[in-house]
């Protein structure tokens, strides 16, 4: 059994489903205690129940609105109060752009996407760094998406937010590496989740075949494995990377 993260504490936002749930479970299977944070408390508790039933690890569900700075600070405080420390964080919570094209996007849509996907990561990093700086060590991984690396048609607002996440990741990585804190990002391509199925519907199978050289979608667990690796000592010299986990899509 992989116990490389035994005695560590991990925090996952967006842990109620999809990539977040898979990553929370992967952290737990590697021995870490896990704070599963989400606005969807029922889903977060389902993740915790799975961990408690299948993994030899502690877990707790925490309510959070990542767009609200005080809610995020409370999330981090709760994590530290329950588990005594914070070693790793995966800032994964996000929403998709509802607009079909940039020219019809609204201010409301822009504000919604930016407040969660970019400002939310900023709020999380600030609160997490406060505790990690006191400890003198830590690892943060942000979910930046393939849309944070390349331009995607009809994805302008979402892509702008995710490019911002890559910028935040690199700036923080440079600033805090000397303090013992590693900051990186993962950039998934098309991943098979309920959200993806709802977004693309009947088009999904065709999109999957064309999405990358492998000709398929990623499973959430494949993204989770990359996050756990980035947080582990196996990646101790990896700093400021925006890692594509996209089946080769960005290599084309």
Cite the active site residues.
158
Local structure of residue 191 (DSSP, 8 states): B
* DSSP code, position 177: G
List, in sequence order, every residue forming a beta bridge with 142; answer none if it has no partner.
91, 185
Measured CA to CA, the distance from residue 87 to residue 35 in angstroms comes to: 11
- Alpha carbon 247 to chain centroid distance? 18
Q: How far apart are CA 228 and CA 145, in angstroms?
A: 16
CA distances from 197 to 9, 190, 201, 221 (A): 32, 10, 5, 17
Task: Look at residue 88 and give its three-state secondary structure.
Answer: strand
Q: What is the C-alpha end-to-end distance of the chain, expressed in Å?
A: 36
Residue 179's alpha-carbon distances to 75, 129, 138, 176, in angstroms, are 23, 10, 9, 5
d(CA 148, CA 161): 8
Beta strands 59-63 and 88-91: pairing type? unpaired
Sign of CA dihedral 226, 8, 140, 82: positive
Task: State the Rg of the chain over Cα.
Answer: 17
């Amino acid at each position: 059994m992989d116990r490389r993260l035994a005695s560590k504490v991990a925090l996952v936002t967006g842990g109620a489903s999809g990539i977040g749930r898979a990553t929370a479970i992967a952290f737990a299977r590697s021995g870490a205690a896990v704070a599963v944070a989400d606005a969807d408390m029922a889903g977060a508790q389902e993740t915790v129940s799975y961990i408690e039933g299948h993994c030899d690890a502690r877990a707790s569900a925490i309510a959070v609105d990542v767009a609200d700075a005080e809610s995020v600070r409370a999330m981090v405080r709760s994590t530290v109060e329950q588990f005594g420390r914070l070693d790793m964080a995966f800032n994964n919570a996000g929403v998709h752009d509802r607009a079909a094209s940039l020219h019809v996007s609204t201010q409301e849509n822009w504000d919604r996407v930016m407040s969660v996907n970019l400002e939310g990561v900023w709020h999380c990093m600030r609160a997490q760094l406060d505790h990690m700086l006191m400890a003198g060590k830590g690892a943060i991984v942000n979910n930046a998406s393939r849309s944070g690396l390349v331009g995607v048609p009809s994805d302008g607002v979402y892509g702008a937010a995710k490019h911002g996440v890559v910028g935040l990741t690199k700036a923080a990585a440079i600033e805090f590496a000397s303090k013992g804190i590693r900051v990186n990002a993962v950039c998934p391509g098309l991943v098979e989740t309920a959200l993806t199925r709802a977004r693309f519907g009947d088009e999904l199978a065709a999109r999957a075949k064309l999405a990358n050289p492998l000709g398929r979608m990623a499973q959430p667990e494949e993204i989770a494995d990359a996050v756990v690796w980035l947080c582990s000592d196996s990646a101790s010299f990896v700093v400021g990377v925006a890692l594509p986990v996209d089946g080769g899509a960005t290599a084309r």
